[in-house]
Structure 1
Amino acid sequence: MIDLLTKPAFQKRALPLSVAAWHEMIAKNMVPKRSELIRGVIVEKMPKSILHVKLVGRLLQLLQTWVGSTHWVRKEDPLTLADSEPEPDVSVVSGSESDYVAHPVTALLTVEVSVSTLEEDREMAAIYAEAGVVEFWIVNARQQSIEVYREPTPAGYARVESVSLEGTLVCGSLPGVTVAVRELFDGLVPGEQVDGAVQES
């Protein structure tokens, strides 16, 4: 079945699932565990390594410290987009949680921590750009760097740069927020991703 899904002729016959239908499945408790909707396809989420968990925790703490009182900092929570409902590792949206009666449809910042899914995370850039997400980061755990995507357009992000271990990321969408890359990775070993994985809830 996996080989069949890679064939272009079969892909053309596949019927994507709408976001509305996805929400109906959620309401009826029909959604598989550890899954999200990406480009109209239900995708299984990857297990988390200890390295992934540590990096997400550090980023979440940093962002909550800097902007927690003026914005809603979210961990693995959905964004409802045109044909997808991803759950980025971290996202920051305008306002507070009380301002929302449904999932946000865009964000000031989304972050994906990549330990073993770098190519998949890079594909998410187009989805976030289409939704007008102002800034997108990919934390590259293996290379200990951060890829930064800015200036969203319908065709993708117009500006992409990489901040190395010796650099400091200055956030463009959240004034005053900076990330010293070496401090983010301080004490972490790239090989930790092979240690016991923590399953997503």
Structure 2
Amino acid sequence: MEALLKLPRHRFSRAQFERMVEADVFGPLDRLELLDGEIIDMAPQKSRHATAVTLVGDALRVALRDQGVTVRMQLPLVLDDHSEPEPDVAIVPGGARDYRDAHPSRALLVCEVSDSTLAYDRGRKLAAYARAGIPEYWVLDLNAERLEVFRRPEQGDYALGSTLGADDCVSPLVCPSASIRVGELLP
């Protein structure tokens, strides 16, 4: 079995992935994302996860309402030629119509809500977001009921990391005067 893992894999570009989507290679119910050239099946959404995504999006919309940013939920984000994940929540500069013809290639903050995908969100996703220079990455750990905050991307990792409990508050870098209680993000 180990020998199979060492076999070369075919890496897809974003352009190839988008052509496959346009050609209906995948079914309408397939939930997929492209990360580091690999097409990844996204975990099915449980009710608790969906509730948390909505709560995070709502809290960030309120906190950042006059900052000239858009809160996008579960929509594509271009990281490079081989990565187009669909983060649970992404804060991108500008308005929604700025992305009519192309997905954003820059985010100010990305949040992944994690229940069954914690290792993936702390591992490959964290590395991909750091490589792309996303200044702030949050992992909302539903099982431990805490928020992991990563800042200052450097060489495929984040130099700063902290863990906040339900009673703690977080201030997004894009608006340091805003304060969101972590408990407001939890279902």
> Shared fold (TM-score greater than 0.5)?
yes
Percent identical across equivalent pairs? 33
Letter of the aligned partner of 1:96 in structure 2?
G
Deviation at 1:137, TM superposition (A): 0.2
- Deviation string 1:100-127 (CA, Å, 9 cap, x unpaired) is 3211112001100001110011121110
* CA-to-aligned-CA distance 1:164-187 (integer Å, 9 cap, x gap): 2221112123333322123333xx
* 1:176 has 2:174 as partner: no
* 1: CA distance, partners of 2:170 / 2:64: 16
Pair 1:29 & 2:28 matched = no
Shift of 1:136: 0.5
Q: What is the Cα deviation at residue 8 of structure 1?
A: 4.0
Local SS of the residue matching 1:133: coil
2-structure distance, mates of 1:176, 1:37: 35
Partner of 2:128: 127
| Structure 2: gaps of 5 or more residues | none
Output the amino acid matched with 1:170. Answer: S
Report the TM-score, using the length of structure 1 for normalisation: 0.83
Corresponding position: 1:40 with 2:37: yes
1:80 to 75, 78, 82: 78
Q: How far is the alpha carbon of 1:156 from its aligned partner? A: 1.3
Alignment of 1:1-201 (within 5 A): 3=1, 7-10=4-7, 13-32=8-27, 33-69=30-66, 70-82=68-80, 83-100=82-99, 101-123=101-123, 124-185=125-186, 188=187
Question: What is the CA–CA distance in structure 2 between the aligned matches of 1:44 and 1:87, rounded to whole Å?
Answer: 11
Name the TM-score, length of structure 2 as normaliser: 0.89
Higher normalized helix content (fraction of residues): 1
Alpha-carbon distance, 1:98 to partner: 2.0
Q: Which runs of 5+ in 1 are unaligned?
A: 189-201
